[in-house]
Amino acid sequence: MFLYQPFQYDIMTMSGYSATFLPHIHQSIEILYITEGSCEATVDGKSYTLLKNDFIVVFPYRIHAYKDLSEKVRSLILFSSPDRLTRFGSDWRDAIPETPVLHDEDKSIYRLLSSIHKALKSDQLFKKEIAKGYNTALFGILLPKLHCKTQKKADLSTTQQLLKYCDNYYTDRLSLDSVSKELGISKYYISHIFNSKLDISFTDYINALRISKAQYLLKETSLSITQISYDVGFSTIRSFNRIFKSISGKTPLEYRKE
């Protein structure tokens, strides 16, 4: 059993005194940096020991968990949308780093992570744009060091195949029948995976993907709300508004103005 986080983070950071976290999976790229103590990071069943000034980069749809190995652990975590890396080419949702754990000898990576964290937590004007600039610089330095390769479909677990397929085609009229036919997986097994492993129904998951993308478009573009509703896969603006508010607690207009 693991946790699934259906929303894709644009840019978000967390800082704390513990790195322990249950197995989880999401659509974002995640970086865990250890600033004090040590922890064990497990990604798709493979474990790594992280010491002070070590960090691990976890790409989308990788099942991962962390466990403190020392009494006092302090960490800094970054979540970043793979959409932010399009300027570097390739589809980073398919990426696997050959070297996921690196040591930050000169602390240059920490300084960039810390700059992103401080910008997001500050009250300064254009703080999100400043954080995005640091984020671009961070991955511009990191990506060549990771020696990423593209993961083959055959290497994906059934759950990962499902999540990737839904992520690629959530704007289509997806159904259990259509996904079952396309992937060659029983629709009853698909339903079982969503309900038992992800703790969310297939329909609610697709809606969560659509609203997550809509939130990004509302903040990052000037597209009309009606256009966004159709672009993310809703057939009517009425259903878009209803489901958007049920998930986010706000109307699309309120969310855009926030």
Predicted structure pTM score: 0.72
Number of H helices, E strands in the chain: 9, 12
Residue range 167-192: average pLDDT?
A: 92
Reported as a pLDDT band with limits 50, 70 and 90, residue 156 is low
Residue that has been written with the tokens 């809509």 in this structure: 214
Provide φ and ψ at 75, rounded to 5°.
-140, 160
- Ordered alpha helix ranges (H), the chain: 108-121, 127-146, 158-169, 176-183, 187-192, 202-220, 225-231, 237-248, 252-257
* Least confident stretch, 15-29, 126-140, 221-235: 15-29
CATH number given to 153-257: 1.10.10.60
pLDDT at 17: 82
Contact 34/53 with Cβ under 8 angstroms?
Answer: yes
Mean per-residue pLDDT, 36-54: 94
The answer, yes or no, to whether residue 199 has pLDDT greater than 70, is yes
| Stretch(es) of the chain classified as CATH 2.60.120.280 | 3-150
pLDDT band (50, 70, 90) for residue 1: very low
The residue that leads in pLDDT, 37 or 98, is 37
In this structure, of 19-28, 84-93, 115-124, 238-247, the range with the lowest mean pLDDT score is: 84-93
166-200 residues labelled b (16+ CB within 10 A) or e (exposed) = bbebbeeebebeebbeeeebebeebeebbeebbee
Angle, vertex CA 223, rays to CA 30 and CA 8, nearest 5: 15
The distance in angstroms from the start CA to the end CA of the chain is: 36
Backbone angles phi, psi at 186, to 5 degrees: -55, 135
- Lookup: tokens for 55: 């960090």
Q: Is 38 helix (H, G, I), strand (E, B) or coil?
A: coil
d(CA 229, CA 165): 20
Strands 54-58 and 29-36, bridge-based pairing: antiparallel
Interatomic CA distance for residues 49 and 66, integer angstroms: 10
> What pLDDT sits at residue 152?
65
Split at pLDDT 50, 70, 90, the class of 38 is very high
Mean pLDDT computed over 174-186? 93
Q: Residue 166 has what pLDDT?
A: 87
Residue 7 backbone phi and psi in degrees, to 5: -90, 140
Beta bridge partners of 16: 75
Taking the domain 3-150, which CATH number applies?
2.60.120.280
Looking at residue 242, its amino acid is: R
Identity at 93, one-letter amino acid code: R
pLDDT-based confidence at 99, cuts 50/70/90? Answer: confident
What's the rounded mean pLDDT across residues 176-196? 92
Phi first, then psi, for residue 87 (nearest 5°) are -65, -20
**What secondary structure does DSSP assign to 117-159, as a single string?**
HHHHHS--TTHHHHHHHHHHHHHHHHHHHHTEEEPPGGGS-HH
Report whether pLDDT(5) > 70.
Answer: no
Looking at every residue in the chain, the average pLDDT score rounds to 87
Residues in the chain: 258
Is pLDDT at 7 greater than 80 in this prediction? Answer: no
Main-chain phi, psi angles of 196, to 5 degrees: -90, -35
The boundaries of every CATH 1.10.10.60 domain in the chain are 153-257
Per-residue pLDDT tens for 215-252? 878 887 899 999 999 999 999 999 999 999 998 888 99
> Measured over all CA atoms, what is the biggest interatomic distance in the chain, rounded to whole angstroms?
54
